[in-house]
């Protein structure tokens, strides 16, 4: 068996095939980042070994075309986090950095971690579309925030009395912006006034565009994962981040793998007779932030969640540690919701229902989810 490490770039992909047991380099090649290059990569692998695994560094903005071609040809593809690649390169005895060295480091990282422990490549086109729209909406919101700050500074110079009347978040409201536009129209003409009016128009355009994106995201989410929107404290933006950053729940072989990807699984930090865990600061931080928002929302509005937090605090944990435990439960629930396409079977009549920590739907049993 061989492991083919791929160092991907915009123009070319470098391939290095290693023996899965000894780690010895079997062959190497560089192909173009195109459809013809993907065919060349398949021919390169076919001449080496019939049993092979492709280890691709997780940079989907440059590897999507290659992954699509490999999966379409029936190849087995796993994704290697860039952090593992950096650690693997430091651990080798070969100094320096080049595309073949990086591709070898990707393959070595996959061998060291175990290809069965890495997330498999899973092309979910609808999830990718949701992520692109969500990222673009975030960019628009950041641009609008910057424009509002610049507009307020212009108002301090040309009309300080108008700026003093505007609250910190007031310019997000359409009526306040319309009133400000009328007031600016009554001021004497100047260069700064012209710039302020242009900035206000751009703020209005961005606001309208982000509202259209929000409606489009809501429609896509209702078609892709309506069960996620039905959950408490999960709105359109949070659900879009979860689906876009998960990129297909079936690429994670268990909910524990998904929790590690989301940064909600604690890291063991025990030594000797001391048994403890520490906070995991890795994983996808945007996905972790979305789960944190859900946790805070449920702590504020869900009585069952508040009772869970109080029980954890009474057991000796701090409130922060209790929320981390809650985030681990939420990650488990989200994975089951995205992984299982069928509702959970009804409970036996005489069974005692397990208390729900987060006031949410009951997921399917774990054995069914992992098959």
Task: Give per-residue pLDDT as tens, 61-106.
Answer: 788 888 888 888 888 888 888 777 767 666 666 667 888 888 888 8
Beta bridge partners of 15: 6, 29
| Alpha carbons 348 and 368: distance in angstroms, whole number | 17
Q: For 318-339, what is each residue's pLDDT tens digit?
A: 898 899 999 999 999 999 998 8
CA distances from 176 to 18, 118, 239 (A): 63, 51, 30
Looking at residue 117, what is its pLDDT?
78
Residue 345 has pLDDT above 60, yes or no: no
Query: CA 338, 341, 344: angle at the middle one, nearest 5?
Result: 100
pLDDT tens for 293-316 read 999 999 999 899 999 999 999 988
Residue found by looking up tokens 């929000």 in the block: 214
> pLDDT at residue 39 above 80?
yes
Instruction: Give the single-character DSSP code of 79.
Output: E
pLDDT at 344: 39
Residue 51 has pLDDT above 60, yes or no: yes
With CA atoms as reference, report the closest residue to 331 among 360, 302, 368.
Answer: 360
Q: Rg of the chain over CA atoms, in angstroms?
A: 26
Classified as helix, coil or strand, 7 is strand
The residues near 100 (Cβ < 8 Å, ≥ 6 apart) are 7, 14, 16, 28
Distance of CA 314 to the CA centre of its chain: 33
The Cα 254–Cα 231 span in angstroms is: 21
Note the pLDDT of residue 181.
93
Tell me: pLDDT of 243 over 80: yes
């Amino acid at each position: 068996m061989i492991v083919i490490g791929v160092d991907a770039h915009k123009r070319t992909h470098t391939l290095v095939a290693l023996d899965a047991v000894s780690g010895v380099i079997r062959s190497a090649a560089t192909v173009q980042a195109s459809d013809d290059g993907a065919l060349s990569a398949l021919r390169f692998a076919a001449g080496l070994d019939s049993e092979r695994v492709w280890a691709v560094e997780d940079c989907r903005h440059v590897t999507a075309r290659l992954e699509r071609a490999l999966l379409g040809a029936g190849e087995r593809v796993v994704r290697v986090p860039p952090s593992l690649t950096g650690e693997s390169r430091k651990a080798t005895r070969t100094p320096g950095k080049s595309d073949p060295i990086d591709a070898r480091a990707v393959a070595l990282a996959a061998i060291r971690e175990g290809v069965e422990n890495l997330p498999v490549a899973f092309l979910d086109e609808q999830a990718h579309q949701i992520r692109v729209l969500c990222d673009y909406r975030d960019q628009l919101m950041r641009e609008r925030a910057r424009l509002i700050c610049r507009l307020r500074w212009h108002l301090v110079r040309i009309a300080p009395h108008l700026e003093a009347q505007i609250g910190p978040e007031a310019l997000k409201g359409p009526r306040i912006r319309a009133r400000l536009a009328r007031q600016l129209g009554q001021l004497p003409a100047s260069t700064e006034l012209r710039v302020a009016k242009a900035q206000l128009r751009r703020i209005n355009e961005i606001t309208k565009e982000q509202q259209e994106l929000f409606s489009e995201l809501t429609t896509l989410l209702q078609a892709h994962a309506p069960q996620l929107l039905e959950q408490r404290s999960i709105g359109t933006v949070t659900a879009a981040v979860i689906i876009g950053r998960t990129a297909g729940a079936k690429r994670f072989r268990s909910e524990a793998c998904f929790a590690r990807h989301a940064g909600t699984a604690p890291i063991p930090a025990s030594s000797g007779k001391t048994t403890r865990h520490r906070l995991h600061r890795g994983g996808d931080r945007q996905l972790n932030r979305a789960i944190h928002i859900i946790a805070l929302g449920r702590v504020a509005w869900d009585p069952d969640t508040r009772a869970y937090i109080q029980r954890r605090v009474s057991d000796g944990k701090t409130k922060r540690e209790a929320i981390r435990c809650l985030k681990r439960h939420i990650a488990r629930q989200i994975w089951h919701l995205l992984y299982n396409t069928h509702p959970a079977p009804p409970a036996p009549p005489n069974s005692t229902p397990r208390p729900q920590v987060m006031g949410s739907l009951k997921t399917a049993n774990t054995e069914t989810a992992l098959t």
